[in-house]
Amino acid sequence: MSPALTPKKLVTIVCEAELEALLLPELKRQGARGYTLTEARGQGDRGVRDGAWRASSNIRIEVLCDDAVAGKIVDMLQTRFYADYGIVVFVVDASVLRPAKF
């Protein structure tokens, strides 16, 4: 493939929409340089979240970052949010252009 690509991590977080204001500054604090956010619905152990109103909507946040920041984000989520909030996180290997950006 294109030699321009460098391996990074893609961290994806799905959580309650109400968490947005709390979560984004924390991501920054762990070293995330940016994020991409889409509105989502879903279902998990806490039941159906159908998006009919804010209180039952989810958001899906993606952060491209290096290994170290990915680890810090995952740890932060586990310590601060996992106990009390409906939240799911997964990490995927991704190749990016302009690695210095992430």
* Site of interaction with its own copies (CB under 8 A): 1-2, 4-5, 8-10, 14, 24, 33-45, 58, 60, 64, 67, 70-71, 74-75, 77-78, 82, 88-98, 101
The answer to whether 45 contacts other proteins (rule: CB under 8 A) is no
Residue 42 · residue 87 · CB < 8 Å = no
- 97 forms bridges with which residues in the sheet? none
- What's the DSSP call for residue 18? G
- 58 forms bridges with which residues in the sheet? 16, 40
Q: Footprint of other proteins on this chain (CB under 8 A)?
A: 16, 18-19, 21-22, 39, 46-48, 50-57, 83-85
